[in-house]
Amino acid sequence: MATVRPLHDPTALFQQLLTQAQQLPKEQMPEPTAFALATVGDDGQPSARMLLLKHADEDGFVFYTNLESRKARELSGNRKAAMCFHWAPLERQVRVEGRVTRVDDAEADAYFATRPRGSQLGAWASRQSRPMDHVGDLEARVAEFEKQFGSGVVPRPPFWSGFRLVPDVIEFWHGKPSRLHERERFERDGDGWRVSRLYP
């Protein structure tokens, strides 16, 4: 396995690590794009859940969700959030903190069009985060939308879109024996990054 090269660009370093994770066998790393997203509600209560990263570049880290979900409601009220990626076989963790913005409609439409048809129908059918009265209600709603759209194109629901977390901080952790781990913290500084090393 290639050694990660020291970089002063945290986005490039993240992409390098993600590529390494994606090259691992599925039995070792079933979902390398998985991350925990932490948000905070109006009452100050934090919540976290696992999501899948869909894109990452210099502009930020992109994920998609139902806009009526708890996470989307919390992000609408408090635009700050945090992510955590953990690639155990690599002994690597990446923490990202920053501000969240909505992706534009064209970007959301383009991504939605690439999703499997079943996932597209599921996006229409799920009343995410709301109570479900009966077992099987979700499947029944999927069937309704299958009938509605037939064999035609499934458009993006107006209540489904994406968010981009624009990082202010990206921190890299590398596990080492005897708890002599390495931590490198990148903090946004104007157009660049200020780098520091932290005790583990």
Evaluate whether 53 touches 62 at the Cβ level (below 8 Å).
Answer: yes
Query: Which residue among the candidates 49, 92, 99, 179 is catalytic per the annotation?
Result: 179
Q: How far is CA 172 from the centre of its chain?
A: 17
Q: Which amino acid is at 74?
A: E
- The 10 Å Cβ neighbour count of residue 155 is 12
Q: Which amino acid is at 122?
A: G
Cβ-based burial of 15 (10 A; exposed 0-12, middle 13-18, buried ≥19)? middle
Residue 85 in tokens: 């990626």
Q: 77 by DSSP, 3-state: which? A: helix
Burial 114-124 (b: 16+ CB within 10 A, else e): ebeeeebbebb
Evaluate whether 16 touches 5 at the Cβ level (below 8 Å).
Answer: yes
Active site residue 179: yes
Evaluate whether 180 touches 196 at the Cβ level (below 8 Å).
Answer: no
Just list the catalytic residues: 179
